[in-house]
Amino acid sequence: MNGEIISTGNELISGRVADVNARFAAARLHDAGLMVQAITFLGDAAPLFQTTLSQALGRSRFIIITGGLGPTEDDITTAAAATALNLPLCQDECLLARIKECLKARRLPWEERYARLSLMPEGAIVLDPGGAACGFSLKHGGCWLFFLPGVPRELQYLFDQFVLPALLNVAAGREAVSQRTLRLFGLRETELENILQKLCPMHEGVTVGYYPDFPENHLTLTARGPQPEVLEATLDRLTEDLTLQVGEALLATDGATLEEIVGVALRRQQLSLAVAESCSGGLISHRITNVPGSSDYFQGGVVTYSNQSKIDLLGVPADTIARYGAVSSQTASAMARGVRNVFRTSVSLSATGIAGPDGGSPDKPVGTVYLGLAWGERVETRQCYFQGNREQIKILTAQTALDWLRREIRHAQGLSVH
């Protein structure tokens, strides 16, 4: 059962105001298993509204129209809809009496323009929540139309009170829907698609949405079918099969961020963390401290941007920098060891590299990054070559370092659960 949403208002097409109503209605409908195939924003001009409404009538089983129901001249929705539907406008005497009462209660004088508020296309039914703004609904051919006011609070109330129950009633016997979002890091979108193209045929009724969210990939799995109790099990099985294929690249099935996952793992293992950053410039510390309560496990960090500060603060031997360079496995290793000692933590991370745009060489091009990880007395390093601009290289450095720590703690735990 396909439908669509039409929202009117000059503020929407000028970009001045972010849409709230269409997104609210779309999310509610989607969660209820009712498909929205198009959302259209229009200004307060009647001709284009009429055309758009007529086109929607030809292809949709329901249409939600928001905005343009007020008493002022730019409120064109009711009259334009009547024209498009070829219906006369009729006055609802009951509604008119209510409006007059309402004005009286507020000690406002009657004005002729308020009469417009009681006009509706012939056959429309008032959606009246009692004492608040009204909308109206109308069945035209095989299509249900719902006209709602543009004030978000009023719209949301009418939508939940009248529109959704009515549509669910019309759609009874339809499909149930269940959805899950997975976050992954370390696979390309095309690799993921290859895997899912093989898996999905084995899981009937599931569709997959791909959302690159640099540097992560997010997947939405949606299962549809007549039996709601089967859908969650279908998503569980697909998630399990996918995990077998992608392994540790799967970060979370519950929306947790990488820094939250690392935080939970550090806390569970009673580990403390310190960070030494050069090319990431503080981004690793920033991400870790975005998590409330991170002071429980995060002792602190240093941003040693100059060579001298690597020597002074972290005890990196001047000789190491002179012999191997500040961007080297040896320096990364000494930084990780140094920052663990300074902050007296159980584990530490370090990053040194060339974020660009300058500073690269044929030997160590822009994007060359060495990461270090110290755990007790053990120190390991990794060499990475990242592609991108300065901002992207910083982001990839921080993400890869945090992801490395996540994997190390998982291995130490010997756990394969998420």
Please give the C-alpha separations between residue 59 and each of 27, 53, 139, 144, in angstroms, as whole numbers.
20, 10, 15, 12
Contacts to a second copy from residues 157-216, by CB under 8 A: 188-190, 193, 209-212, 214
Q: Are 284 and 300 in contact (CB under 8 A)?
A: no
Query: Could you tell me which stretch among 34-42, 159-167, 236-244, 399-407 binds a second copy (CB under 8 A)?
Result: 34-42
How far apart, in whole angstroms, are the C-alpha atoms of residue 5 and residue 41?
Answer: 9
Q: Are 133 and 164 in contact (CB under 8 A)?
A: no
Output the smallest distance, CB 344 to a second copy, in A.
8
Contacts to a second copy from residues 356-375, by CB under 8 A: 356-358
Q: Which long-range contacts (CB under 8 A, 24 or more apart) does 92-100 make?
A: 92/118, 92/119, 92/120, 92/126, 93/118, 94/126, 95/126, 95/128, 95/134
Query: Could you tell me which stretch among 19-27, 90-98, 234-242, 371-379 binds a second copy (CB under 8 A)?
Result: 19-27
Nearest to a second copy of 251, 288 (CB atom) = 288
Pick from 161, 239, 289, 346: which binds a second copy (CB under 8 A)?
289
Output the smallest distance, CB 105 to a second copy, in A.
7
306 contacts a second copy (rule: CB under 8 A): yes
Output the smallest distance, CB 117 to a second copy, in A.
11
Beta bridge partners of 274: 300, 348
Pick from 100, 174, 237, 286: which binds a second copy (CB under 8 A)?
286
- The site string for a second copy over 320-349 (x = CB under 8 A, - otherwise) reads ----------------------xxx-----
- Give the SS3 label for residue 15: coil
How far apart, in whole angstroms, are the C-alpha atoms of residue 51 and residue 48?
Answer: 5
Nearest to a second copy of 124, 231 (CB atom) = 231
Q: Which residues contact 338 (CB under 8 A, 6 or more apart)?
A: 276, 310, 313, 314, 315, 316
Nearest to a second copy of 124, 340 (CB atom) = 340
Q: Which residues contact 252 (CB under 8 A, 6 or more apart)?
A: 182, 183, 261, 418
Reference 74, options 52, 43, 110; nearest CA is 43
Output the smallest distance, CB 154 to a second copy, in A.
10
Query: Could you tell me which stretch among 13-21, 134-142, 371-379, 405-413 binds a second copy (CB under 8 A)?
Result: 13-21
Pick from 99, 187, 219, 284: which binds a second copy (CB under 8 A)?
284
Contacts to a second copy from residues 87-146, by CB under 8 A: 105-108, 111, 113-114
H-run or E-run covering 364: none
How far apart, in whole angstroms, are the C-alpha atoms of residue 117 and residue 277?
Answer: 63
Nearest to a second copy of 99, 124 (CB atom) = 99
Pick from 1, 24, 79, 89: which binds a second copy (CB under 8 A)?
24
Nearest to a second copy of 124, 338 (CB atom) = 338
53 contacts a second copy (rule: CB under 8 A): no
H-run or E-run covering 119: strand 119-121
Output the smallest distance, CB 111 to a second copy, in A.
6
Query: Could you tell me which stretch among 45-53, 167-175, 327-335, 401-409 binds a second copy (CB under 8 A)?
Result: 45-53
Nearest to a second copy of 108, 322 (CB atom) = 108
Q: Which residues contact 100 (CB under 8 A, 6 or more apart)?
A: 110, 114
Q: Which residues contact 385 (CB under 8 A, 6 or more apart)?
A: 365, 367, 368, 369
